[in-house]
Structure 1
């Protein structure tokens, strides 16, 4: 069995969807299958359905916000054992949703996708937040809201704890601002998941593998000009000059329509000229 063709089909379809119709868990599984094409989707679909069903079983009556939090934590953390991988945090498996489900541990954003899936299956309002260095979620209900940390068993985070977490990830001088509480789109959650893989490949001096990750990101975010420029830079660094030129040209086309600076467009055009010279 090779699930790669199916995974590519799913990701290209997601690239044509409006953001609010993106199924985070389904898309994350398709991304995972690109690295594990021998693994079938069905066991993971069954597990996602099981998580949603178990939360539903405990939600047969109207629940307060605090009770919804406890149900999510009980199902995902207590019953299924999901937790952050503090021992091998840099392991690439932690950003692959299939392996996260297999191992019951992973990065904050991968675990967050599971919490979001289980909550949204009930119609609950839950979103990811633009918190730097550590993915967090916000659950809203009946005029109340709470911020949850999927890496720490869905633990609610008060402002003081958030401030301490920010200083750990962004430096001792960092302070909370409204930007840190801003919500992120479904595509941004998925981009954040894949950025973890890209950065790990770059730290291992594998620009070619990082370029592959960016090209996979472009399947579900084809209108993201910054990604096209990044794909150009990574492919150029890896010596894949034709791919670099195509990516830069796509960036210039998108960027000119979406308001990229004239300076950046000019710099990119110069890069394309230089790459064409190297090809000839």
Structure 2
């Protein structure tokens, strides 16, 4: 089923895919596959063609095909080839959850900047070209030994000054620039950001069941703070899963509240449980 045709979900339903996702994102960096993690994310929103419910076979086959066409083993060579193969961004895609689903992005060669960066990094890895995702606020880039690249805007080479200019076009001419914005980010941070994008998209669409699924997955990613449990609990409540919402909020209160008064969290949980009666 295409990633933009989404069957109903029950965010409280236990899933082997969720357990598998948690295992993948907790692996040590050399053994963690962004392609697998992102395919598992997509499988929570659209049933894939593989027996395990993912589209990982098609994702890896598509990435392998793209890698076979790379002639210049450099980041610039990888991105130039991807652009020639049709990879790039379209601002109109921002409103579609499919733009955050790797199977759809590999198939359509369109997606959000962070997904196009994942494609570039995964193709580079297959070509033994060093590359990493750069989590610049507002727009994700890719960095390699030969500089920066922006697959979304189909630019295979950027100087740090070019990235700063792009940042200020997004955030305003007076926005303070920090060179650390061009530091590579780890795979876990990439997955967490993808899931935050999805949660925001589903919240805007008032699809709170899928918002809760995205936030539930995000809470499993190493490095995501305990305060995210409050966002998950609120999304569960908006989806009508008041019992799970209350249980999640009570667990956060028991853990100290992550900066919020635990008694306030428990009172909210009580109000949600009252909705069950």
Q: TM-score by structure 1 length?
A: 0.80
Structure 2, unaligned runs of 5 or more: 2-8, 10-14
Aligned in 2, Cα 1:275/1:91: closer, same or farther, shift over 3 Å? Answer: closer
SS of the aligned residue for 1:35 comes to coil
Q: In the alignment, does 2:51 pair up with 1:46?
A: no
- Higher helix content, 1 or 2: 1
Structure 1 equivalent of residue 12 of structure 2: none
Structure 1 equivalent of residue 6 of structure 2: none
Decide which moves more: 105-114 or 243-252. Answer: 243-252
SS of the aligned residue for 2:219 comes to helix
Q: Conserved in 2, the CA contact under 8 Å of 1:199 and 1:210?
A: yes
Decide which moves more: 228-237 or 167-176. Answer: 167-176
Number of matched pairs: 260
SS of the aligned residue for 1:183 comes to coil
28, 31, 37: which one aligns with 2:38 = 28
1:28 Cα deviation from its structure 2 partner? 0.7
Structure 2 equivalent of residue 112 of structure 1: 117
1:72 Cα deviation from its structure 2 partner? 0.6
SS of the aligned residue for 1:124 comes to coil
Q: Conserved in 2, the CA contact under 8 Å of 1:72 and 1:154?
A: no
Structure 1 equivalent of residue 5 of structure 2: none
Per-residue CA distance 1:40-90 (angstroms, 9 max, x = gap): 3322221122233444x644xxxxxxxx13321233111x21011234332
Structure 2 equivalent of residue 240 of structure 1: 241
1:135 Cα deviation from its structure 2 partner? 0.9
1:100 Cα deviation from its structure 2 partner? 0.9
Per-residue CA distance 1:171-211 (angstroms, 9 max, x = gap): 34312113422332211101111222211111122333211
73, 77, 84: which one aligns with 1:71 = 77
C-alpha separation between the residues in 2 aligned to 1:267 and 1:278? 17
1:23 Cα deviation from its structure 2 partner? 0.6
Q: Conserved in 2, the CA contact under 8 Å of 1:15 and 1:222?
A: no
Aligned in 2, Cα 1:223/1:201: closer, same or farther, shift over 3 Å? Answer: closer
Structure 2 equivalent of residue 213 of structure 1: 214
1:158 Cα deviation from its structure 2 partner? 2.3
Q: Conserved in 2, the CA contact under 8 Å of 1:231 and 1:244?
A: yes
1:278 Cα deviation from its structure 2 partner? 4.5
